[in-house]
Structure 1
Amino acid sequence: MRTEQEHEYVEYVQSRLSSLRRTAYLVLGDGHRADDAVQDALTVLYRRWGRLTDVASMDAYVHTMVVRACLTYQRRSWSRVLLRGDPPDSVVESGSGRVDDRLVIREALGRLPVRQRMTVILRYLCDLPVSDVAQVLGCSEGTVKSRSHHGLRALRAVLGERAPASVPATIAAHLRGQA
């Protein structure tokens, strides 16, 4: 790769890295595995960088790579092995209970089937439009809408009437049926 292309690659990755890590963390629920999935996707992206001049939406392309890397990590049997004990008994105080709320949301999302969970995460937590989510997941826009509907309904059932305060406004409105 030429120095100019490497510079473009580094700029692109630096500007998108936090978003890609967030997406991977939301899909996998583990920071270390999320970092590994992003690293794998970015390694493949680096090798392909010089040939990607005709890609219509680089962000959608890279998000697809990251989501697919996450799916690969979920399929691996060793990924189900927990190398740590139970979490510590002490709860980190945040002043507003947001840590507890995040745990409730993480648990509720964990109860969804993988495809529904990824659709809800990409659609509402990453705030991607239906068309982009369909492109990332490799399905139709109707499938994205259906999975979103069923995923939100399942979240409503798990969370009951109360959506924690830390739920982003876009998903909270949908959970309450106001959107």
Structure 2
Amino acid sequence: MNATRHEEFREYVAARGPVLLRMAMQLTGERAEAEDLLQAALAKTYLAWDRINDRSAVDGYVRRAMVNTQISWWRRRKLEVYPTDELPDRPVDDHSQRSELHDALGRALERLPARQRLAVMLRYYEDMSENEIAEVLGVSVGTVKSTVSRAMAKLRDDAGLGDQFPGIPSSDY
């Protein structure tokens, strides 16, 4: 009986999913949030599947679950703003400088040879160990160390990135 319940629910979701997603989009305004909302509502519906005797009323049940869930999320996200006559002492963080640095690093990475770029990406973006990188690339650990070391030296030298990016290690290897 449980397999039948599961299959019946699965068929319902396959048939009505796109329609329900459109409603979720109307509630949230963003596709990713709509998908999350629909998923939450469908999870609630699945748990109550045996209690829904009239299968023609399932759409209404899911819609009500979406509305209730969205209202719950709105309440949780409610911003608490307390107006004040005084401005804070510390300056507001300027994200533009970080964005410029990120762009400069991206351009510098693009100028690296493919093997060096891959080694750096695996090491610092994927946080893989030297042994893991060696296995992925099919080279020795020593080759990984020297490749990453050369790549990091090029990145530091390229447009003075060593000064701009204190997070780039100067002697990791």
For normalisation by structure 2, the TM-score amounts to 0.41
Higher helix fraction (1 or 2) = 2
Structure with higher Rg: it is 2
Larger RCO: 1 or 2 (CA < 8 Å, sep 6+): 1
